[in-house]
Chain A
Amino acid sequence: MSSEPSILCAGVGKAFQLYAHQNDQLKQILFGLWKKFYKDKWVLHDVNFTVEKGERVGIVGRNGAGKTTLLQILCGITQPTKGDFRVAGRIAPILALGSGFDGLLTGRENARIGAAILGLSRKEVDACIDDIAAFADIGSFFEQPMRTYSMGMIARVAFAICAYAKADVLIVDEALSVGDEIFQRKCERFIADFAKTGTILMVSHDLNFLAALCDRVLWLEGGVVREVGDPKKVIADYRRAMLAEEDQASGVA
């Protein structure tokens, strides 16, 4: 076992290109070498943290704090504008519910594609597709077109795929809160299990959930890490800051 960190983020920053006109995008492509047609909008400034192998780390922060962008960078979906990051091993992301699912196909067919996206071979998928069905536990719906599913059922399938992807790093963006009590408990068990061999990074607004499950919590605000450490302390600080802001807002109004 190496002692290399599972996730390493060094000075990661991300600026989106903000275009005044839709057509400026094309101009940028064609004439970008000579002139800049956009303004930078920085959503992440200078994010530094490491996650050790086997750690469960939660991320909290307000809407627009850069949580999702950070996860997208770690998954390799979008490139950081500056800084370096490294994720060791295979990643299984649950970023948005139902993304990458085709409503016309059945849960089983979608699960096959989902597993292929995560890099499983057909043999591996054949071997675990029934386990995925069992984990999702949605009965005969698994053979029905996905457009008939409820949000909770979609979440079950998405999570079940990742559960069997043999990933080293699990990245979850606010996907588990739609599941019912039974499924949430199943996920909690799974996460606890998964942490024995792999690393978990999850974003949630369910602070109790994070407090119960995480080894550490990272508080992201305005594109920088405001605080990182013991879940109880960080979450308490985060709550206090939220409350203070709310008081301020109602005081003004």
Chain B
Amino acid sequence: MLASIPPAYVAPFERAWRNRELIRAVVRREFISRFRGSALGPLWAVISPLFMLLTYTALFSLTVPQLSAGMSVTDYASSIFIGLIAFNLFSELAYRAPMLLHEHVNFVKKSIFPSETIAWTATIRAFTYAGVAFAVYIVFRLLTAGTLPLTIVLTPLLVVPFFLFILGVVWFLMALGAFTRDVAHIMASIVPVLMFATPIFYRLDQIAAMSGSMALWLRLNIVGDYIEMLRSVALDGTLPNIFGYLALVAISYAVFIGGYQFFMRYKSVIVDVI
């Protein structure tokens, strides 16, 4: 009786587990149809981040030396690269999420498709690309610095809550985007601004040294916090502040559950308005 209705804090996992075969099939489809008809195929997942890495390294390390704040060129490039991996992941989904239900309108309206799984597949896909880019980072780091910090093994502890945070955001934007296409336009104008409010090309402590209150505001940017923590485990070899980490996990989880509940609440209405 009660056992059949899972509590709110596990409901999204339970739904996803029940639809795991479908999620797997759709993720496979996304990859197949993305690489079909291209000569290099999956190699693009490696080439594009590599290209990005080289471009930003060349550009920023040569033109804006004060940003790199005493870091070597490769260290600074690594730092930017980690920032960009996480931010591109976020921005790709932020652009795409409001349109997701419109893209899948046939699925949603004309078959018994559990539409909440669309967020899972889109997020899994984006994280797979980010994972490939991260592998590129590891190789780049090994080639240039010759060593990796031991703390890099802690990366999954950051990836999991980040994944849940992004998923919650996707659900929220997906539902909102179904009602009005303005959401897609809003995201298109906000995300580039957000990019500079995120510690990608700089570090938070650089800002803190210049203006403490500014740094405090930037801390509100969850994506930026994740980037800072990723850098400390995957580049600096330091442990993030444990309380900061726990707070981040708690917030991410709240966003995840909130996004899911928002989506599920409007799911039946969305079918009629889309």
Interface membership of A29, Cβ < 8 A: yes
| Least Cβ–Cβ distance between B120 and chain A, in angstroms | 13
For chain B, which range describes its interface: under 10, 10 to 19, 20 to 34, or 35 or more residues? 20 to 34
Q: Which of A26, A77, A93, A98 has the most CB of B within 10 A?
A: A77
| Least Cβ–Cβ distance between A161 and chain B, in angstroms | 10
Chain A residues within 8 Å of chain B by Cβ, number: 36
On whether the beta carbons of B112 and A121 are closer than 8 Å, the reply is no
The main secondary structure of chain B at its interface with chain A is helix
| Least Cβ–Cβ distance between B65 and chain A, in angstroms | 46
User: Bound state CA distance, A121 and B17, in angstroms?
Assistant: 12
Interface membership of A138, Cβ < 8 A: no
Chain B residues with CB under 8 Å of A98's CB are 106
Chain B residues with CB under 8 Å of A91's CB are 112
Q: Which residue of A lies closest to B105 (CB)?
A: A99
| Least Cβ–Cβ distance between B99 and chain A, in angstroms | 15
On whether the beta carbons of B110 and A29 are closer than 8 Å, the reply is no
Q: Which of A22, A91, A121 has the most CB of B within 10 A?
A: A22
User: Bound state CA distance, A121 and B180, in angstroms?
Assistant: 36
On whether the beta carbons of A16 and B272 are closer than 8 Å, the reply is yes
- B 252-274 to A, binary, CB cutoff 8 A, 1 in contact else 0: 00000000000000101101110
| Least Cβ–Cβ distance between B51 and chain A, in angstroms | 25
Stretch at the interface among B20-28, B132-140, B162-170: B20-28
Q: Which residue of B lies closest to A15 (CB)?
A: B272
Chain A residues with CB under 8 Å of B176's CB are 26, 29
Q: Which residue of B lies closest to A29 (CB)?
A: B179
User: Bound state CA distance, A98 and B107, in angstroms?
Assistant: 10
On whether the beta carbons of A100 and B107 are closer than 8 Å, the reply is yes
On whether the beta carbons of B113 and A117 are closer than 8 Å, the reply is yes
Q: Which 6 A-B pairs have the closest CB atoms?
A: A99-B110, A79-B268, A116-B25, A26-B180, A96-B110, A100-B111
A-B contact pairs, 21 of them (CB 8 A): A16-B272, A17-B273, A28-B179, A29-B176, A29-B266, A77-B111, A78-B268, A93-B112, A95-B110, A98-B106, A99-B107, A99-B109, A99-B111, A100-B107, A105-B32, A109-B29, A113-B25, A113-B29, A116-B22, A117-B22, A122-B24
User: Which B residues have a C-beta under 8 Å from some C-beta of A?
Assistant: 21-22, 24-26, 29, 32-33, 36-37, 106-113, 176, 179-180, 182, 266, 268-269, 271-273
Q: With contacts A17-B272, A23-B182 known, what are 6 further pairs, Cβ within 8 A?
A: A17-B273, A19-B273, A77-B109, A93-B111, A98-B106, A122-B24
